[in-house]
Amino acid sequence: MPYKVLVTPRSFGRHSNEPYEILNQFGVEVKVNPYGKILTEEQMIEEIKDVDGIIVGVDPLNKKVLQHAENLKVISKYGVGIDNIDMEYAKEKNIEVVRAMNANADAVADYTLALMMAVARNVVQIDKECRELNWQKITTVDVHKKTLGLIGLGNIGKKVVQRAKGFEMDILAYDLVPDEEYAEKSGIQYVNKLEEIFEKADFITLHLPLNEHTEHIVGREQLERMKSTAVLVNTARGGLIDEQALSDALQERLIWGAGIDVFESEPPQNKELLELDNIVIGSHCAASTVQAIDNMGIISSQNLVDLFKQSDK
């Protein structure tokens, strides 16, 4: 009997057939997401019942869902974030979980810089005014030689640093597990207290997983510490920012603006955010480039096959 695999990401194999070829060469029977959208819990429960493996994006794989996956042996994450997967229950059920490490890091880092620039220089607002034939100059804020504060300095954070160096930015970072060797080599200053990032940085970017320790790590108190000309960027996970606090801060002009690609629910429930001119909004698309999509598909397929091969031994 061939392994049966559910593939939920809608972009899987969109630009290259190689991810499917990897699965087909191993004789995998592929079941593709039939809904054309992120699956709900109920849809996942129905689709996951008889599969041996799953290549999953941000669809829910909590305990409620996994309890119905009687044959599931492997979860291959299409990306790196695993906050949608109940890791403890997966371990309890001996379900292997593997991530597509580094597949989309460059794409996310690029988009982080794109949001920084778009917010700082009011690119979206200027474009809108020009389309209405308003050629009045709009004054914005600089990026060059400003201070960037990174909350989380993992693989994506380090790639953001590489790009920020081109703008001759001073770099501050906060991470629970500091990479001192990298910091010294790259001219990065680690701070001991998270408050220092909010108080000193002109740009703050988030590169953290979402868990009980990081949920709403940016709230009203942190936003009030920021400079009035500061920009906040989140390309990591919705839930890291208290969205009501952010909405209030933007309306009150406590900070210059925000670039947000991820929300607690997507589209965001707080519709006020959609009406503000000092926020640039993304549709969780930081990793959506041709190269990153190809990489995620190839790596997640190969990871799945490799784990099946190990279980066959």
- Which residues belong to the active site? 237, 266, 284
Q: In 3D, which of 61, 55, 154 has the Cα closest to residue 102?
A: 154
Angle at 204 between CA 198 and CA 210, to 5 degrees: 95
Amino acid at residue number 296? M
Using the structure block, give the residue that is written with the tokens 């906040």: 232
- Return d(Cα 235, Cα 126) in angstroms, integer: 23
Q: For residue 17, what are the CA distances in angstroms to 20, 101, 110, 209, 305? A: 6, 20, 25, 30, 16
Report the alpha-carbon distance of residue 274 to residue 257 in Å, rounded: 13
